[in-house]
Amino acid sequence: MAELELTIPLKSTPCKVGMTVMTVLMPLWAIGVPFCLGLFTSQVLQKPEQVPALIAIAIFSVLILISALGVILAAVFEDDVVLVSKEGLAFPLRMLGKLRMRRARHWPDLCAATVQLSESSGANPKGFINLFFHSGGATSIKIDKLSSTDLEQLLLAIEIWGANCQRAPELIQFQNQFQNETRGIESLSYTQMWEEELSRRFASTSFVPLEPGHELKGGQLKVTRQLAFGGLSAIYLAQERQRGIVVLKEAVIPANADEAARSKALELFEREAHLLVKLDHPQIAKVHDHFQDGGRNYLLLDYIRGQDLRQMVKQNGAQSQAKVLQWGAQIAEIMEYLHAQSPPIIHRDLTPDNLVLGNDGKVVLIDFGAANEFVGTATGTLVGKQAYIAPEQLRGKASTKSDIYAFGGTLYFLLTGSDPEALSASHPKQIRPEVGEDVDQLVSSCTELEESQRPKNAAELRKLVDGLFEKYNDSLAEVDSNGHSQSAASEVPPELPKAVS
């Protein structure tokens, strides 16, 4: 994965006002004053005796000062971002006073981070994140001036790279609460990776997730934090020597599983993991490795930055038909690629949680069902979000058409903002009357209970979606149900670190 490099706009009101003023006055300080300076210089050179030396020097000084001041103020007001990289932080010029004239700070210099909240509930908290440095100086970042994606990325960067930083308990609690509320979930999870039944059935097992700092592969891989865990699976953010930040997906066979089930699960995991490592598609999170360590089985995946479709809909509401079809065409193309492998790769968990929207508007698939199927085989349970599971998958007979069923459920969610009803053909038009009959029919056909009544394969599905997208493409700039423009440029959400699970 590419190294995490962030540009976080602070959206400071004084900077906005100042930049507006400097833009309005630009003809004066950027054109008028230099022109007057040049004209005055020419006059002095031609007739030096007409202007006393002291007056000439004073006029020169004032004109140069006005022009230089304009440039400096414009630079200060325009520079309203915090730059975050693996090396450290760089703050806006206006913060130089608080930072003792050192705007760039390396991570080892960060000694403490705290939070002061005036309003902590909901996805738009208010208050300040305070950063303190060993070499002196401190600064505060106003929380409500950050987008939710930028706020989460900043908190994550402090956690991962600020190894010597003492994070206040209030900050840790705020970070966890904020992540949960923005995703509308009740546990620390980036995707719905397991079924509730799995947790209930094996709640008393001895499975204990790895703690931060735990090392794997002879120290080459170090767990940074737990992202999600439950039942017999866990997801971690980890640091690898070669690739930097990665995501680790773990699966464990319960101790009470019989030998036949254990062997079958291991065989399935090994087989599918080998296939996943070979995949190479720009819109599929790369699976780099699979291995065993301490009797547990792992997949190592890219860490994908972006906003998952569930969170995007939660924040912005149901989406326009054109936008949903645009994303649907991309998802169908990803499915076509997976199903064209030999043997076909069935995803098994194609839900809005596992699809991330990047800044370029492209949808990226971030999760694979290998570890899920691995656990499910060993335990006799299913893993996945129930509303998106096809009937045959519930019976343990997943096929490529099971992914088509989940695809239909995902389109339904994007069009309505609600999860589909489990084991039922979905009709988004019943929720949103403005949905076209042909779009409603597409979703309905994908979610038919009988496999034979769904589109024949992903290639056929892609053609159907492409055709509908061409029809509705002209409406990409239409206004959605929340009154926001649906243009391709404005719809793309800001960047958010999304952990692959």
Report pLDDT digits (tens) over 129-171: 999 999 999 999 999 888 887 888 888 888 878 877 888 888 8
Residue 229 pLDDT > 80, yes or no? no
**Percent of the chain whose pLDDT exceeds 90:** 33
Lowest average pLDDT, out of 146-150, 196-200, 316-320, 422-426, goes to 196-200
pLDDT in tens, 344-386: 888 888 999 889 987 788 999 987 765 555 555 555 555 556 7
pLDDT band at 207 (very low <50, low <70, confident <90, very high): low
Burial class (CB in 10 A: 0-12, 13-18, 19+), 490: exposed
Query: Are the C-beta atoms of 369 and 345 separated by less than 8 Å?
Result: no
Question: How high is the pLDDT of residue 176?
Answer: 75
Task: List CB contacts of 178: < 8 A, sequence separation 6 or more.
Answer: 123, 125, 148, 151, 152, 155
Confidence (pLDDT) at 184: 47
pLDDT over 80 (residue 214): yes
CA distance 436 to 407: 18
427 phi-psi bin (left φ>0, alpha ψ -120 to 50, beta other): beta
Global pTM exceeds 0.85: no
DSSP string covering 22-75:
HHHTHIIIIIIHHHHHHHHHHHHHH-GGGS-HHHHHHHHHHHHHHHHHHHHHHH
Per-residue pLDDT, 438: 96
Say if CB 104 and CB 88 are below 8 A apart: yes
Say if residue 206's pLDDT is above 70: no
Question: How much is the pLDDT for 407?
Answer: 97
Does the domain at 196-498 match CATH 1.10.510.10? Answer given as yes
pLDDT beyond 60 at 122: no
Checking if the pLDDT of 4 tops 60, the result is: no
CA angle 20, 24, 25 (to 5 degrees): 115
For residue 231, name the pLDDT band (cuts at 50, 70, 90): low
